[in-house]
Structure 1
């Protein structure tokens, strides 16, 4: 049963922030937390001169210290640890298979807003169908980042089946007792670029039609989650840009990605890619068909 939260731990500030975020999420979900560290052996040349006899105790210590810190913060939270010898992305994806959520740390861009999504995080995101949340140090629930009462923002696409994405977003908003804001960006049909005398009323009509479609998409979820305060913003323009803008002050941004079986490519759409790299809040990536 997928009833626990898994978080990758490597002793870095980013992973410690992710572990604290994951612990709080596990408490909200009332499920156990699993801390996982994966050692890709051999480590050379990244850590020259470091032998396996040095790495194993260090990994165990990093996990133990993280578990002890989290237990002090959440004494009733069940915490387990696992240290694996495998490529980190593959190990984390395998560990996510029986989890309800996987949480990973990601480096922030210093004074700039956004993430540096490393190869391990990116490879893990596309290797698992389990929801993945990327967390920066600035998103640490005990640090200066946004508090738990901030709204959840979700990107919706009227041309796609977004049930998994909307289900995750509504459940998160309900757990956090916070508002949910749906964001959709649309563009004029390409044919309109060839019309010499474009009627602005057409743009307004299309905008109203798109807004009604977003309303219809959200309606059954509003009925299912009547306690969630839902709003939506429909814009003409780049959905990625609007989601990044909406992430300012948000507690969580939820986006989807297509599950693609091809072994080639990163399997991330342009909107999700933009949000992953530039959002000012933790980002949840939800795989869907």
Structure 2
């Protein structure tokens, strides 16, 4: 059974941006699209209905309205729309279990002000077992601006963490670059051990031997994926310093930024998304794919 691209829609501009991005992704990957709207009574910040029954009737119309719009834009796309009663995070995570990728929208004002990353988005990223792509309302959606056909596509950017196995993250980034015929920029941020910063000859070793070793680790990690995707043009860098800062610099004009989220054992306490993921999600202007791994 072909697994779809699943998109959470809620009637907001962010939800519409996510639906547009998800539809384009489904076309690129030749997959069906599933739109999911989760309903539970709550105050609405946009188009508030008069009461619970009116709210439900209004909410039930959202998936169909988005479907009609996307069918006009992508008449060849297989689209299914579902209205599901339940807490949004639980509904979205269940939808993700049957999907190749889950797409949700976030509201935000760019790198300086940051995303308005809501509790549903954060909880979904923390719990979903499939890659989750967050798309910013009002952004380009990672699509190149209209212009000459010869303008090269923007790159896919991969944040590479070599501290734990991450084949799922690397594979997702290579596939995303391949279907877009886009280059792949790999950013590995690292910091040398404190013991290597002191002592006789440290000034010569720092930035030479240590950096060469780290670049070789990156090459080794990417080697099988380069062989599997020979058509993807890869630029890799091992840079000293805070990984999130280097990723945000590389993401300024990216089609998609791909980062990993380490799976943690099931615990009664709430799951967290990690410092790097939190920073990138709040500041990155491009769509961000968070891929669970490990």
Name the counterpart of 1:86. Answer: 86
Instruction: After TM superposition, give the deviation of residue 235 of structure 1 in Å.
Output: 0.5
Q: Among residues 195, 198, 201, which one is paired with 2:204 in the alignment?
A: 201
Structure 2 unaligned blocks of 5 or more: none
- Quote the Cα distance in structure 2 between the aligned partners of 1:185 and 1:28: 30
Among candidates 277, 280, 285, match of residue 285 of structure 2 = 280
> C-alpha separation between the residues in 1 aligned to 2:110 and 2:235?
32
2:165 to 155, 161, 165: 161
Structure 2 Cα separation of the partners of residues 46 and 165 of structure 1: 35
Quote the Cα distance in structure 1 between the aligned partners of 2:127 and 2:110: 28
Change (3 A) 1:232 1:139: same
CA displacement 1:70-95 (0-9 Å, x = unmatched) = 00000010111111111111111111
In the alignment of these two chains, the number of paired residues is: 287
Structure 1 CA distance for aligned equivalents of residues 107 and 221 of structure 2: 34
TM-score w.r.t. the length of structure 2 is 0.90
Q: Indicate how the Cα distance of structure 1 residues 265 and 57 shifts in structure 2: closer, same or farther if over 3 A, else same.
A: closer
- Give the TM-score of the pair, scaled to structure 1: 0.92
For 2:222 and 2:259, the matched residues in 1 are separated by: 15
Say which of 234, 239, 258 aligns to 1:235: 239
Q: Are residue 13 (structure 1) and residue 13 (structure 2) matched? A: yes
Q: How many Å separate the matches in 1 of 2:234 and 2:72?
A: 35
Runs of at least 5 residues in structure 1 that lack an aligned partner in the other structure = none
Q: What is the alpha-carbon distance in structure 2 between the residues aligned to residue 265 and residue 151 of structure 1?
A: 34
SS at match of 2:186: strand
Counterpart in the other structure of 2:140: 139
CA RMSD across the alignment: 2.4
- 2:96 and 2:256 map into 1 onto residues whose CA distance is 20
1:1-289 matches, within 5 Å, as 1=1, 3-41=3-41, 43=42, 50-109=50-109, 112=112, 114-137=114-137, 138-140=139-141, 149-192=153-196, 195=198, 199-203=202-206, 204-260=208-264, 261-289=266-294
User: CA 1:135–1:3 in structure 2 vs 1: closer, same or farther (change >3 Å)?
Assistant: same
Q: Distance in 2 between matches of 1:108 and 1:92?
A: 21
Measure how far apart 1:64 and its partner are: 1.3
Q: For the structure 1 residues 186 and 75, does the alpha-carbon distance in structure 2 shift closer, same or farther, using more than 3 Å as the test? A: same
Seen in structure 2, the aligned counterparts of structure 1 residues 264 and 172 have a Cα distance that, compared at 3 Å, is: same
Give the CA deviation at 1:44: 5.4
Contact kept? 2:49, 2:58, Cα under 8 Å: no
Post-superposition offset of 1:179: 0.2
Provide, for residues 122-143 of structure 1, a one-character-per-residue CA deviation record: whole Å limited to 9, x for no partner: 0111111110000012034679
Q: How far is the alpha carbon of 1:49 from its aligned partner? A: 7.8
Q: Judging changes above 3 Å, is the alpha-carbon distance between structure 1 residues 250 and 59 closer, same or farther for their aligned structure 2 residues?
A: same
User: Does structure 2 conserve the Cα–Cα contact (< 8 Å) formed by 1:258 and 1:267?
Assistant: no
Deviations 1:130-169 (A, max 9, x none): 1000001203467969999210000112221110000100
Taking the aligned partners of 1:127 and 1:114, their CA distance within structure 2 comes to: 22
Paired residue secondary structure (1:255): strand
CA distance in 2, matches of 1:264, 1:183: 32
